[in-house]
Each structure stands twice: as C-alpha cells, then as structure tokens.
Amino acid sequence: MGSDWARLVLVRHGEVEANRSYRYLGRRDDVLTDAGRRQAEALAVALSELPVDAVISSPLKRALDTAQTIAGPGGLAVELEVRLLELDFGDWDGRSRAEVVATSEGDRRRVQAWEADPTLPVPGGESLAQLQERVVNLANDLTRARSGSTLVLVSHMGPIKTLLLAALGLPLTAAARIFLDPATVSVVDWSSRPVVRLVNSHAHLGFAGARWLGEGR
C-alpha cells in the first residue's frame, strides 16, 4: 500500500420505491421507504463498531438520510460531496430498462450501445467513464487530505461499482457483472495500489431479505 491511503467504507443508500422495480434512478430525488429507513438504522448499528473518522454523502435525499442515520451514534456531522452523486440518467431517469427499450427501435439501440460503450453518455446524461473519473478523483483527493482515515462514503450503485472496478483494475464493461443491493457495504483500502476488502455485504440486514436469493440468472 502506498504512503497515502484511506479506508473507504462504501455504503449504498437504503431502499427507495424505484429500487423495487429496478428503475434507472439518477438525479431524481426519491426518499427512503419505511424498509429503507430500517436498513439505515441497521447500518448505523453495524458501522458504529468501526473507528469512523468522517461520514461523507451524496446530497440526494436517499443517500443523505442514510448518512445522517449512520452518523448519529458517533455524533459526526455529515459532509456533502457532489462527486458521490449517482450517474446522471438524463432522459431515462425513473424508467426501467424494459420501458426504455419498448419505447422505440431507436431507444432499444441506444440502450444497447450505452451498455456496450462506457464512454457513451445516456441521452441527456453522462457516461460511466465520466462517472468513474469523478469518483476516482474524489478517492485520490481523500487519500491525500485524510491519509490513514476510515471514511464512510454514502452513495449510489453507479459510483460504488465504478470505484470498485477501478480498484480491481477491471474495465467498465464489467459493471453489469456486479450488483449492489440497497444498504449494503463494500470496503476499499484506497491508495496507489488499492485493495478491495468487501463487496455487497448485507450481514447487518440478514440473509432472509436478500433479493438475490430469489433470483436466478
């Protein structure tokens, strides 16, 4: 590990209604469901066992409400960071993939092209490459400014997935091979040679409610 490093505890926000139907959810400012608030409380209990130096959050309500719940037991103030915002899904925000591809043949082709090319932005939005650039820049800035710290970053699926892929040295085309459930925890020791410690842990939530148990390929 390099001389500058930070332990980044990457938390996906608690559940919102749109998560239940697997909708693209970018900058639309949805609030947590009752289940999402319970998940945030479980996160707070679990993460209270860690020596957390700061809680940093995307400004969107679903992330900020999760972050404030996590920060409460330690008496920490939540710091807002726009680079933790979800991918800007532009024209697709709030719609499911099935809804977008069913709109027209052109929309179906645009979805397929976007999935194949990480440099291609969503219509009216941004690309996975742009998203990864901003979250990697944030991780680098945090390691320089707060070397040796344990930082909880409360964000969204896209930023966390792209940061994990950067840490693993994998191409962005592998993004579809990782799924992150709401209110789960991933951990990266970020430095010039990052180490991934944990991915999509929901031990604090239990296995009974894990969606992947009831889903095949």
Which among 50, 89, 67, 54 has a CA at the least distance from the CA of 11? 67
Where is 107: in which H helix or E strand? Answer: helix 105-116
Give the strand pairing for 195-201 and 78-80: unpaired
Selected catalytic residue, list 15, 86, 126, 202: 86
Whether residue 86 lies in the annotated active site: yes
Retrieve residue 24's tokens: 């693209």
Whether residue 204 lies in the annotated active site: no
First vs last C-alpha separation in the chain: 36
Question: What's the rounded Cα separation, in Å, for the pair 165 and 168?
Answer: 5
125 Cβ partners below 8 Å, 6+ apart? Answer: 26, 87, 88, 89, 90, 91, 92, 93
Helix (H, G, I), strand (E, B) or coil at 54: strand
Catalytic residues: 13, 86
